[in-house]
Amino acid sequence: MINWSSRIPYPRSWISAIFLCLILSGLVKGADKVLKIGYYLTRHLPRLDAMFGLITILSPILFIAIIHHFLNLLLDVLLPNNELLKLDKVQGWNPGLISWWKGLYSWLVIFLATIITIGVLDFLVIDVSSVRYLYHGSRDNLLVSIIVIIWVTTAAYLYHFEHLVKRSVIATAKSQ
């Protein structure tokens, strides 16, 4: 393995962050239909309000766990002797503990990366009109690009943190 600085996220962390951003954009696109149904149901059945809200907030855990599980099944078929996949070995059609952990941690990454991105943007107070001579596209596209770059970078560092903690726990367990 290449000597990589522990301050810079590993490529695996960047890939996880970009993949999570793509999954999240798909979830947001699909959430439009679900929210319309939920709005209709809660308008006619007000007691479903809290339950539907909780399901909406926690649904990324389920979707990411399922995606992780089936992606690992596919990679096991395509790359049967890959060393990186031995830790994430999955079997059967139901997501295992590792897939649920990836779903839960990805949900935490979504939440923390969003909060940190909002904080960074609030701190920077970006005035897009001052850079219009550098960027010929629309100002909205520039702002979305800046938001995505900050969000993906934050998510990559959070995945990198998970990797460093996992590596430290494994090293401690091996030394005992």
pLDDT for 108 equals 94
74-78-79 Cα angle (round to 5): 110
pLDDT for 109 equals 95
HSE-CB of 169 using CA atoms within 13 angstroms: 6
Phi-psi region of 10 (alpha: psi -120 to 50; beta: other; left: phi over 0): beta
Name the residue with tokens 């909780």.
Answer: 54
User: By C-alpha distance, which of 105, 47, 94 is closest to 72?
Assistant: 94
Name the residue with tokens 């490529």.
Answer: 11
Report yes or no: 108 and 149 within 8 Å, Cβ to Cβ.
no
Per-residue pLDDT 10s for the chain (176 aa) are 566 677 888 888 899 899 999 988 888 887 777 778 777 877 887 777 777 778 888 888 988 998 888 887 777 777 666 665 555 666 677 887 888 888 999 999 999 999 999 888 888 766 655 655 666 666 667 778 888 999 999 999 999 998 888 888 888 888 87
Listing DSSP states for 83-152 in one string gives STTSTT---SSS--HHHHHHHHHHHHHHHHHHHHHHHHHHHH---GGGGTTT--S-HHHHHHHHHHHHHH
pTM of the model: 0.79
* Structure letter (DSSP) for residue 8: S
pLDDT for 136 equals 63
Instruction: For residues 46 and 26, give the distance between their C-alpha atoms in angstroms, rounded to a whole number.
Output: 28
